[in-house]
A = this chain, B = another copy of it.
Amino acid sequence: MHVEVVEVSPRDGLQNESVILSTAAKVDLVSRLVAAGATRIEAVSFAHPRLVPAMADAEEVMAGVPRQAGVSYAGLVLNRRGLDRALATGVDEVNVVVCASDTFSQRNQNASTDESLAAAIDVVRDARAAGLFTTVSIATAFGCPFEGEVAAERVLDLARRSADAGADEICFADTIGVGVPTQVRSLADGFRSTHETALRFHFHNTRNTGYANAAAAIDAGVMTLDASAGGIGGCPFAPRATGNIATEDLIYLVERMGMSTGWNLLAVLPIADFLSAELGKTVPSMLSQAGSFPPSA
């Protein structure tokens, strides 16, 4: 069995760090990831540079990263303007985000969930017409920092409408790291009771449930999971807490369970050191602290 690890450190990771990397350092990061085995990388965001200054150099990053067969680059897109930029840079995929919580959607995208879904459906249609693979990510799918609980039925409804609009993939995102395995199972099973569109999960480890959720997703047969090298990313709603699950720790979990990822774990560990140096802090991944196992591996 194979688990596809989608690398999100260049986008969701770096976007939520206080230190902004140079374009050259971002390109260096992506090059190291590709050399370590990454085949899908969310590399950039085409959100307005005023709103997400850390990602303002999306065009320059995409111009510098290694393009080669078998490596697919994704950019985050929120609207037609973002899609135009994505098309101009030649990304392979777009990831369109819809926040399940209305309050979070208003604060994060200055639009209601319904408005955001309508915009996402337009982007999906246009992106597919242009030949891009399209993912719709349902953010705050496991809970909202403002509203608290988010009903699974609301999340599933957004996912179904996105799939009906033609999205190639639906990604359920635990944006603030509150989810647990029972929710993973319920979203996966709920969606697949009506749809066959490919599923993907995006977990944060903010409350130490991220790897349990990853194992639960695999157990439920969802074999595409996001992760961030070094576990970089953080959480704007819990400033002292950690963010994305770490690529190296997810690879360890998956491969020790007898499945493959296609990555070279020992080539990922130095990337954590690179990121620690660039960000000026110890990154939260555990393998980078404890080393792999067995010792010879």
Residues of A within 8 A of B (CB): 143, 145, 148-149, 176-178, 180-182, 205-209, 211-212, 214-216, 219, 235, 238, 240-242, 245-246, 249, 252-253, 256-258, 285-287, 289-296
Contact = CB atoms under 8 A, between A and B. Distances in A.
B216 A293 contact: no
- Please give the count of copies of this chain that the complex contains: 2
A240 B148 CA distance: 35
Nearest to A285: B208
Contacts of A292: 207
Contacts of A143: 293-294
A291 B249 contact: no
20 contacts: A148-B295, A178-B293, A178-B294, A180-B257, A181-B219, A205-B208, A207-B253, A208-B211, A208-B249, A208-B252, A208-B253, A208-B286, A208-B287, A209-B211, A209-B253, A212-B215, A212-B253, A215-B216, A238-B291, A240-B290
**Main SS at interface, chain A:** loop
Contact of A148 (B252, B253, B257, B296): B296
Contact of A207 (B148, B181, B287): B287
A205 B286 CA distance: 8
A290 B246 contact: no
Nearest to A150: B294
A177 B215 contact: no
The residue among A176, A207, A215, A256 with the most chain B CB atoms within 10 A of its own CB is A207
A209 B235 CA distance: 21
A245 B286 CA distance: 13
B149 A289 contact: no
A240 B253 CA distance: 19
A207 B293 contact: yes
Contacts of A286: 205-208, 241-242
A207 B290 contact: yes
A206 B241 contact: no
Nearest to A143: B293
A188 to B, nearest CB: 15
Contacts of A241: 286, 289-290
Contacts of A257: 180-182
Nearest to A206: B290
Contacts of A295: 145, 148
Nearest to A204: B290
B249 A290 contact: no
**7 tightest A-B contacts by CB?**
A148-B294, A241-B290, A238-B290, A208-B249, A178-B293, A208-B286, A212-B215
